[in-house]
């Protein structure tokens, strides 16, 4: 494994808690989360294969929100381990409810910064990475807080296997342009899009969440998918 990057003190996310957790979610934080939590990345390297030894692939979701996309993908692909990271406590509580209700055994969670877990993964250990509707930090002075930075893309390229895919979706034009510009500078990524349908039309396996339906950005969703060469 290469030397882990230094992220610095800047967080790529805002608040980590809003309303008080519902009793059921609070209970799941105490009972279910410890059972499916990713090992503390500060303790050393994490082998995702060890989290589900019989998994045929490992997928990674950065900032899973309420967990709808993660849970649906896990239900569709029970033989795939999906590791999800989310710093927002209420989102983790929601995801735990999805995991319990759908009896998902192939989900592992980290309540915190996804970049810490990413840095603890071995080279070429993931088949897919999802970054869906991340905080856009639209003001120019806040762009340094965006989760997509050049060093993040370099880390994603490191942990993805050749042929692996990185999907980024946003409903902010500037963030799409920002990500595309930086991804094209990363020599390990190839953008296979050839026509507008490739970024304007949702991929066949995309899961539309309630957050996406709110249309909070300044454009219809833009779907960018890159291949690890």
Domains and CATH numbers, the chain: 23-228 (3.40.50.150)
pLDDT tens per residue across span 134-149: 999 999 999 999 999 9
**135 carries an active-site annotation:** yes
> Is residue 14 scored above 90 in pLDDT?
no
Does the pLDDT value for residue 200 go beyond 80? yes
When pLDDT is averaged across residues 170-189 and rounded to a whole number, the result is 98
Q: How far is CA 10 from CA 62, 79, 143, in A?
A: 17, 36, 11
**pLDDT level of residue 20 (50, 70, 90 thresholds):** confident
Catalytic residue among 79, 116, 123, 135: 135
Cβ-Cβ contacts under 8 Å for 138 (sequence gap 6 or more): 172, 174, 175
Is 50 exceeded by the pLDDT of residue 187?
yes
Structure tokens at 120: 């603890």
Neighbours of 15 (CB within 10 A): 9
Q: Cβ neighbours of residue 205 under 8 Å, at least 6 residues apart?
A: 73, 76
């Amino acid at each position: 494994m290469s030397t882990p990057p230094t992220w610095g003190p800047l967080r790529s996310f805002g608040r980590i808690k809003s309303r008080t957790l519902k009793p059921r979610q609070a209970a799941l934080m105490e009972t279910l989360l410890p059972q499916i939590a990713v090992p503390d990345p500060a303790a050393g390297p994490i082998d995702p294969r060890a989290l589900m030894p019989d998994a045929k692939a490992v997928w990674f979701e950065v900032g899973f929100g309420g967990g709808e996309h993660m849970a649906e993908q896990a239900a569709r692909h029970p033989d795939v381990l999906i590791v999800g990271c989310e710093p927002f406590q209420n989102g983790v509580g929601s995801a735990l409810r999805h995991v319990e209700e759908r009896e998902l055994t192939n989900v592992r969670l980290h309540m915190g910064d996804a970049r810490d877990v990413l840095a603890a993964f071995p080279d070429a250990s993931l088949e897919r990475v999802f970054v869906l509707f991340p905080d856009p930090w639209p003001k120019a002075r806040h762009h340094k807080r965006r989760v997509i930075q050049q060093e993040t893309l370099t880390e994603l390229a490191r942990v993805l296997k050749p042929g692996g895919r990185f999907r980024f979706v946003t409903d902010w034009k500037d963030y799409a342009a920002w990500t595309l510009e930086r991804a094209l500078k990363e020599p390990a990524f190839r953008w296979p899009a050839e026509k507008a349908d490739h970024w304007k039309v949702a991929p066949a396996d995309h899961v539309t969440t309630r957050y996406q339906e709110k249309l909070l950005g300044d454009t219809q969703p833009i779907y960018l998918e890159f291949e690890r060469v």
